[in-house]
């Protein structure tokens, strides 16, 4: 998985980080989750909500990475845990984004500040563009051009009525990605571990963008998988971050109150 490979890369380059860092604080919000690590770095990820279940008493889990058992845990234990849950998948990406927030600025990547990745692509010619995820602003912008648009989504109702004509069920990604010239992928696919299959279906030479709050991980592994642009989120006001997340904030709330859009470019 992209997330595990990225963590292993960080561990190989900066072993002290994975061994020493712990989760100092956490908020698991309705739309976004945020962590503060013991080095006072902060990271965000889209929240994968657990399917509501009623467990028999014998099956109730009070172990690692359950309520009251998250703060104080080492990052290395998070990534080496054999437990499977949406909470763990969410925490992994939020933690990776926190660790990466310091490394990205110090490692010489080409970064454009206050830039949305869609501003970097040519929408004037007629191309086939696929958006993975219900990015309303992108759908609105691209649907007004002469480009052919597909929107891959799990839920058709994530699109407005006027945009449902662009809807393609997410499971049909192998039909539209191989014919797409530009592919814009939500960072939430890093959290739910679907990004690998999506990237493997993109045709050679396509322009690939991964964007959103969850996409702020160290970019090397994404770049190795032919991602051209990462639309990341840099936290600029950590004191507001947990408040926004706890009050059902979304990505655009982050940008308004406590974060900055940046683009990381694959110069290869």
pTM of the predicted model as reported, rounded to 2 decimal places: 0.92
CATH topology of domain 110-265: Rossmann fold (3.40.50)
Specify the pLDDT at position 141. 93
Domains 2-106 and 110-265 share a fold: no
d(CA 233, CA 113): 10
Pick from 128, 136, 178, 137: which is nearest to 153 by CA? 136
Specify the pLDDT at position 254. 96
Specify the pLDDT at position 244. 97
Beta strands 207-211 and 229-235 are parallel
Listed by start position, the domains of the chain span 2-106, 110-265
Is the separation of the CB atoms in 260 and 236 below 8 Å?
yes
Beta bridge partners of 132: 152, 185
Instruction: Give the mean model confidence (pLDDT) for residues 101-123.
Output: 89
- pLDDT level of residue 68 (50, 70, 90 thresholds): confident
Specify the pLDDT at position 62. 76
Instruction: Give the mean model confidence (pLDDT) for residues 14-35.
Output: 87
Position 37 pLDDT exceeds 80: yes
Q: Is 183 left (phi over 0), alpha (psi -120 to 50) or beta?
A: beta
Task: Tell me the pLDDT of the chain averaged across its residues.
Answer: 91
d(CA 130, CA 44): 25
Q: What share of the chain is helix, strand, coil (3-state, %, to 5)?
A: 45, 25, 35
The radius of gyration of the chain from alpha carbons, rounded to an integer in Å, stands at 18
CATH topology of domain 2-106: Enolase-like; domain 1 (3.30.390)
Q: Name the strands in the sheet holding 42-46, side by side, starting at the edge strand that comes first in the sequence.
A: 23-28, 32-37, 42-46
């Amino acid at each position: 998985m992209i997330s595990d490979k990225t963590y292993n890369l960080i561990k190989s380059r900066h072993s002290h980080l994975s061994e020493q860092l712990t989760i100092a604080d956490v908020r698991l919000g309705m739309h976004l989750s945020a962590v503060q690590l013991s080095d006072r770095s902060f990271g965000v990820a889209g929240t994968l909500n657990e399917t509501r279940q009623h467990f028999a008493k014998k099956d109730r889990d009070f172990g690692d990475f359950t309520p009251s058992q998250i703060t104080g845990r080492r990052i290395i234990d998070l990534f080496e845990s054999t437990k499977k849950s949406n909470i763990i998948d969410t925490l992994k990406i939020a933690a990776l984004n926190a660790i990466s927030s310091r490394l990205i600025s110090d490692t010489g990547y080409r970064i454009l500040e206050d830039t949305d990745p869609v501003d970097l692509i040519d929408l004037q010619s007629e191309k086939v563009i696929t958006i993975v995820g219900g990015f309303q602003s992108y759908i609105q912008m691209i649907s007004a051009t002469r480009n052919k648009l597909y929107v891959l989504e799990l839920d058709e109702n994530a699109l407005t009525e006027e945009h449902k004509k662009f809807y393609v069920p997410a499971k049909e990604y192998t039909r539209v990605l191989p014919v797409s010239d530009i592919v814009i992928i939500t960072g939430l696919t890093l959290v739910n571990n679907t990004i690998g299959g999506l990237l493997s279906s993109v045709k050679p030479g396509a322009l690939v963008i991964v964007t959103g709050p969850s996409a702020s991980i160290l970019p090397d592994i994404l770049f190795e998988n032919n991602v051209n642009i990462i639309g990341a989120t840099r936290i600029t006001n950590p004191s507001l971050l947990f408040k926004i997340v706890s009050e059902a904030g979304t990505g655009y709330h982050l940008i308004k109150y406590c974060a900055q859009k940046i683009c990381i470019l694959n110069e290869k």
